Amino acid sequence: MNVSPAPNRPAVGMFWMLSAGLCFVVMTALVKSLGTTMNPIQAAFLRFVFGLVFLLPALQAIRATQLTPRLLTLFGLRGVVHALAVMLWFFAMTQIPLAEVTAMNYMTPIYVTLGAALFLGEKLAFRRIAAIGVALIGVLIILRPGFREVSIGHLAMLGTALMLGASYLLAKLLVRDVKPAVVVAYMSIWVTIVLIPFALAVWVQPSLRDLAVLFLVASFATAGHYFMTLGLQAAPVAVTQPVTFLQLIWATALGALVFHESVDIWVVAGGTVIVAAVSFISWREARLNRKAVTPPDVETKF
């Protein structure tokens, strides 16, 4: 008996993706609100400690998973890579405006596309190469090297997107053998473990306000991932992908209104170029129905 495909509900998918985007922007703003009151590494560690609370529903699946040496290696490697990404992201948040963090984070699916071709054997067709080239132009528009100083925060965000891309590719390998919920759970566990020595090295007594903010960060991050999953279940990536661009608009507005950051039209223009490139890849792959190809994914993975 053939299984009927899931219904295509574009409006529902766009609604859930909008909700996910709002959650991710609020999460980013909450991290920004911490300012310099806490070391970024300690903040990252506490965010994941609080995030462990949301793993309780996956305990049964975790216990039922038989860990082979290969799986342990992949889980551990992903934990290290993702922990580096998280530390770089939290640091970048203290150095550059919200809009720039959001715009540069859109480079993650470009790194995923390149990595899938290099390490997973996926075909890198001309349209993908062209889209990658366009996305790199978007990065140059944002950074404008030679016209303004490229700060350490910008370099941290480039590293963040690269590490997140590597984390995503490792997850692609893991979901071939393990349930997605277990992959997410072990990522959170391993990242927490990897961050422990770094957090202890810079530890200061956190205030109740900081702890409350970080618990909210973990809550909004979890809600964002859940809503994103609902959106991808309801509609194709080609429909939901362009909606993620609104995160840049919201981040720009929030940065200006709440954190008094200047609106840089070049950042918005560069982010638009990157999102357009990623959306084009999504649309083309959906048209060709290449189910074996890694779909672009630009949501914030924290």
What are the tens digits of pLDDT across the range 4-50? 445 567 788 889 888 988 998 999 999 998 877 889 999 999 999 99
In the chain, the percentage of residues whose pLDDT exceeds 90 is: 38
pLDDT band at 110 (very low <50, low <70, confident <90, very high): confident
Q: Phi-psi bin for 289: left (phi > 0), alpha (psi -120 to 50), beta? A: left
For 240-293, the pLDDT digits (tens) are: 767 777 888 889 888 999 888 988 999 999 999 988 888 877 776 666 654 444
Q: Are 128 and 113 in contact (CB under 8 A)?
A: yes
- Does an H or E element contain 199, and which? helix 180-201
CB neighbour class for 136 (10 Å; exposed up to 12, middle 13-18, buried from 19): middle
Q: How far apart are CA 75 and CA 71, in angstroms?
A: 6
- Does an H or E element contain 230, and which? helix 208-234
Tokens of 115: 């990595």
